[in-house]
Amino acid sequence: MDTLTVLAIVVGLATGAGIIIRRAGLPAMLGYILAGAVISGVGWGRGLGVVGELGQLGVTLLLFLVGLELPISQLVRLGRTVLVSGGAQIAVTSVVGFVLARWMGFTLVEAIFLGVALTFSSTIVVVKLLSEKKELQSLHGRIAVGSLLVQDFVAIGLLVVLSGWGKGAWSGPELVGVIIKGLVLVAATFGLAEMVVPRLVKSLAANTETLFAFSLAWCLGIAALAASPIVGFSAEVGGLLAGLTLANAAEHFQVMARVRPVRDFFMLLFFVGLGASLTVGGVGDNWWRAAVLSAYVLIGNPLIMLAILTWMGYSKRTAFLAGLTMGQISEFSLIVVAAAVRSGQVGDRVVATVAMVGVVTMTICSYLISHGEKFYVSVSRFIPGRKRTGRKGGEEGIRSFEVVLFGHSRAGSVIRPALERLGKKIMVVDFDPQVVEKLEREGKLAVYGDMSDVELYDELGLKNARLVVSTVSDLSDNLQLLEVVKSKTKKGPKVVTTAVDGAEAKVMYAAGADYVLVPNHAGGELLARVIEEQGIERIDQWGKTQLAGL
């Protein structure tokens, strides 16, 4: 078949499979992989050479976008919790995966790559599922996403090393050479990103079509240079570096929006090619190995994360729900083993095994994450957990307060000082580790916690408080707080909640709230009072006063 016919068949079947899979609530990439397996199974696999080549372009564009939005600042901000949990999870999971792979007869190098591939969970899948459940900003959601970012950084580093490695066995001198070349490339990249590229992009920003064309040309040009014999890396790493050079440009959001559809098309071809390897790589010989490794990913990975977070002092619920997100492998797992095949380190059976594990784990884990609360209720009594006592004063320190304040980064940072001036003893509950650590350094009572965690209410002993204030604007979390506090305490504390609008405020009042803060409404009232008292002419003076207090 000619190239156009092959592409028409591949894209058509993959699109149909992707639609069916998405309606089942699963990632579309599973449909693309299954489409590739079907195409190869009916004997059309030999015509997929062009699909594989174009698919590599999709990986290059994927890493180009990763470079554009590489969240280094976010990773640093998340701090010790994410670095420890993410790093420990990678170390433990890869070692156990390596031992399992060796037991099943894989070679030393194959076992190393399998162990590493099994540690990476899909950021794309987890973020999508948590967003749909409105749990992305919950404590377990933030820990999960932060840990996944750590995994992504490790995967990118591994790709850089693999891309610079020649065919065949590994050697120490060659590794040193790869690291040196990598450091030189990174230094050159940041030099371009600071001094050259932002100015060049700014001059093209007036015309979005020209900007888009330049971005693609820049990506492909740097990719070709990185893949040249002189440099000796891969086109994918070149794409990553090209993205990094554009990351500081103010127009990088426009570039991302334009490039994403192009990337998605070529990534479709990449996953179809991987699906074709399921048959070519010998599913029949490896299905039992894939089944064992899938069980390990689905059960072992969450348990490892659960143990790490429990050891760090998080509640059973937070540790369980964060651990649940680790029960599937990532698109980076597939990309890493495909790169290892191209570098001559492993054979096709490793790709086939990882692809099968991906299909199984992404399917099952997506369902588990979507119904995480139900599963937690079913198994919580079997999960050992540490009693959270805070960081100051032990059990008595966490319970001897008059006011509990949920959320400090929003209005809480203004409310807390006012309550302290009244002589009230306050316990702050926040899911940002840096906020809690900063308050503790100032001698304040503070604890890591998620308002959606019902177990936290008992641990805090809310019945002893006189006032409970929630600066979290999530309706379901506030209704849950009202239900628990009002039902468990006859007299009970006064409860103040926060709503995004008047309609939600009415719902909270009906549920028993004593006062509901509506920020937009309160801000409008304040501005109206300022205008009435001071007039339009002096409004700039009030603005300067407000700025000084921020």
Cα 245 to chain centroid distance, Å, stands at 23
Opening angle at CA 420, ends 139 and 424, nearest 5: 90
What pLDDT was estimated at residue 103? 92
What pLDDT was estimated at residue 70? 63
CA–CA separation, 230 and 443 (whole Å): 58
Tell whether 525 is covered by a domain. Answer: no
Name the residue type at position 436.
Answer: V
Q: Is 371 in the same domain as 410? A: no
CB hemisphere CA count around 202 (13 angstroms):
10
Determine contact, residues 330/270, Cβ cutoff 8 Å: no
Determine contact, residues 454/475, Cβ cutoff 8 Å: no
Among 354, 382, 410, residue at a domain's last position = 382
Q: Is 365 in the same domain as 402? A: no
Q: Is 365 in the same domain as 484? A: no
What pLDDT was estimated at residue 398? 47
- What token pair was written down for 97? 């995966």
Tell whether 535 is covered by a domain. Answer: no
Q: Is 276 in the same domain as 399? A: no
Query: Is beta strand 403-406 parallel, antiparallel or unpaired with respect to 467-470?
Result: parallel
Q: Is 363 in the same domain as 472? A: no
Among 358, 382, 406, residue at a domain's last position = 382
Residue 200 structural domain: 3-382
Q: Is 420 in the same domain as 277? A: no
Closest CA relative to residue 468, chosen from 386, 539, 401, 384 = 401
Among 382, 416, 447, residue at a domain's last position = 382
Tell whether 347 is covered by a domain. Answer: yes
- What token pair was written down for 258? 């334009």
Q: Is 332 in the same domain as 403? A: no
Residue pointed to by tokens 């180009």: 64
CA–CA separation, 150 and 162 (whole Å): 19
Q: Is 416 in the same domain as 276? A: no
- What token pair was written down for 545? 């006063």
Tell whether 484 is covered by a domain. Answer: yes
Q: Is 330 in the same domain as 463? A: no
Q: What is the mean pLDDT of each run of 10 residues along the chain (550 residues)?
A: 78 89 79 81 64 76 77 55 80 91 89 89 79 74 81 76 56 64 73 74 78 87 82 76 78 80 83 70 71 92 89 82 89 82 79 85 86 83 61 45 83 85 87 78 82 76 82 85 74 86 88 87 79 77 70
Q: CATH number for the domain including 218?
A: 1.20.1530.20
Q: Is 50 in the same domain as 164? A: yes
Determine contact, residues 251/202, Cβ cutoff 8 Å: yes
Cα 157 to chain centroid distance, Å, stands at 17
What pLDDT was estimated at residue 392? 39
Tell whether 69 is covered by a domain. Answer: yes
Tell whether 538 is covered by a domain. Answer: no
What pLDDT was estimated at residue 397? 44
Q: Is 327 in the same domain as 416? A: no
Tell whether 537 is covered by a domain. Answer: no
Domain tally, the chain? 2
Tell whether 540 is covered by a domain. Answer: no
Q: Is 375 in the same domain as 507? A: no
Q: CATH number for the domain including 503?
A: 3.40.50.720
